[in-house]
Amino acid sequence: ALATPAIAQESPKLQWRITSSFPKSLDTIYGGAETVAKYVTEATDGQFEIQVFAAGEIVPGLQAADAVRDGTVEMAHTTSYYYVGQDDAYALGTTVPFGLNARQMNAWYYYGGGNDLMNEFFATKGLYGLPSGNTGAQMGGWYRNEINTLNDLKGLKLRIAGLAGRIMERLGAVPQQLAGGDIYPALEKGVIDGAEFVGPYDDEKLGFVKVAPFYYYPGWWEGGPTVHTFVNLDQWNELPDNFKGVLTAACQAANCDMLASYDYKNPAAIRRLVNEGAKLRSFSQDVMQAAYDAAKEIYADISSSNEAFKKIYDSQIEFKRDAYLYAQLSEYTYDTFMMIQQRNGAI
């Protein structure tokens, strides 16, 4: 008994597994789990070791949170909106169409009560959630033909999921569910007319530019999606305080890190894609406004029957009003001026 170090009793050696919803090939978003695991393992000198598994190695990517809830694995690195089929409130943990942007999501999560609100909800699903990444505003997808008017959306077969799919449906499009690897052949054969994925760096890997060259922005359904680490709630509650502290710091660091990674890699990727033939187009204000109005109707519908959704959504909206008022001052005018310099070749 004398030989057992007191500190080892307080902090037993743990070996946990984190199952990612993403394949290794998407190194930036998959890398978020690696960042969490590396920081925790290093910081504890291996006393709290986390091993990362790609989507499909233990469970399929879209079942990562379920596997954590059921105790198959201790942790998942995933996006909560993947589970919107179980409860619409899951969507708000990641993003909803026309939601908060990346910086606003962090402000809301860490200072606006967002983490408490989401964890109140996640607890009802046996989960504890920690924001662990963000992709920034995503692109609006690849299309075989231009979308000039609302009419061009009628009957359009789009690979798009979740709430964005429901909005597209209201605008007359026909949402399709396809796994990442099935998108390219469907686009090539014209089985679908367009597909949204993530942004330049990730999209480039799937080669859409060759078969659907019109690359639209913004991805109004993903203005700043948060990626989560989920921990089985019981196991989180039993974790020693210092390991809770390590994991909390590691996830917040990973949150910062993933956005930095996308922000560094996307600019170079968009240059390459344009060189390969991508034709950049912005969604028209008409299309955006119709989508926005449809989104608000859908949120009102859901809020009327889902109390958790309403509570979280109202909190995000309250902050969003002030956040987008303030952003019009220094942030927006600074960036605008710098963009003018960029266009003038004066950077």
Q: Which of residues 77-116 bind its own copies (CB under 8 A)?
A: 98, 101-104, 106-112
Q: Which of residues 223-262 bind its own copies (CB under 8 A)?
A: 223, 240-242, 244-246, 248-250, 252-253, 255-257, 259-261
Q: Which of residues 156-195 bind its own copies (CB under 8 A)?
A: none
Alpha-carbon gap, residue 289 to 213, rounded angstroms: 24
Judge contact between 316 and 189, C-beta under 8 A: no
In whole angstroms, how close is the CB of 6 to its own copies at the nearest point?
Answer: 6
In whole angstroms, how close is the CB of 71 to its own copies at the nearest point?
Answer: 26
Helical packing angle, 162-170 and 285-305, nearest 10°: 120
- Residue in the structure block whose two tokens are 């919803």: 21
Judge contact between 129 and 118, C-beta under 8 A: yes
Alpha-carbon gap, residue 152 to 213, rounded angstroms: 16
Alpha-carbon gap, residue 228 to 48, rounded angstroms: 19
**Token pair belonging to 311:** 């509570």
- Residue 21 engages its own copies in binding (rule: CB under 8 A): no
Q: Which of residues 24-83 bind its own copies (CB under 8 A)?
A: 39, 42-45, 47
Residues 284-323, one symbol each (x = binds its own copies by CB under 8 A, - = not), give: -x--x---x---x--------------------x-xxxxx
Q: Which of residues 208-227 bind its own copies (CB under 8 A)?
A: 217-220, 223
In whole angstroms, how close is the CB of 248 to its own copies at the nearest point?
Answer: 8
H/E element holding 14?
A: strand 14-20
User: Which CB atom, from 149 or from 177, has the smaller least distance to its own copies?
Assistant: 149
In whole angstroms, how close is the CB of 70 to its own copies at the nearest point?
Answer: 29
- Residue 148 engages its own copies in binding (rule: CB under 8 A): no
Alpha helices in 178-240 (DSSP H): 180-189, 200-204, 233-238
- Residue 271 engages its own copies in binding (rule: CB under 8 A): yes
Alpha-carbon gap, residue 63 to 261, rounded angstroms: 26
**Token pair belonging to 231:** 């921990």
- Residue 7 engages its own copies in binding (rule: CB under 8 A): yes
In whole angstroms, how close is the CB of 113 to its own copies at the nearest point?
Answer: 10
Alpha-carbon gap, residue 273 to 344, rounded angstroms: 22
User: Which CB atom, from 49 or from 57, has the smaller least distance to its own copies?
Assistant: 49
In whole angstroms, how close is the CB of 12 to its own copies at the nearest point?
Answer: 12
- With H, G, I as helix, E, B as strand and everything else as coil, classify residue 55: coil
In whole angstroms, how close is the CB of 57 to its own copies at the nearest point?
Answer: 25
In whole angstroms, how close is the CB of 89 to its own copies at the nearest point?
Answer: 20
Name the DSSP class of 284: P
Size of the residue set binding its own copies (CB under 8 A): 97
Chosen residue from 56, 177, 280, 286 binding its own copies by CB under 8 A: 280
Cβ neighbours around 150 below 10 Å, total: 15
In whole angstroms, how close is the CB of 100 to its own copies at the nearest point?
Answer: 9
User: Which CB atom, from 241 or from 305, has the smaller least distance to its own copies?
Assistant: 241
- Residue 138 engages its own copies in binding (rule: CB under 8 A): yes
Alpha-carbon gap, residue 304 to 49, rounded angstroms: 44
User: Which CB atom, from 83 or from 108, has the smaller least distance to its own copies?
Assistant: 108
Which range, of 61-69, 142-150, 156-164, 329-337, touches its own copies by CB under 8 A? 329-337
Counting beta carbons within 10 angstroms of the beta carbon of residue 8, is it exposed (0 to 12), middle (13 to 18) or buried (19 or more)?
A: exposed
Strand order in the sheet with 48-53: 48-53, 14-20, 75-78, 226-232, 127-134
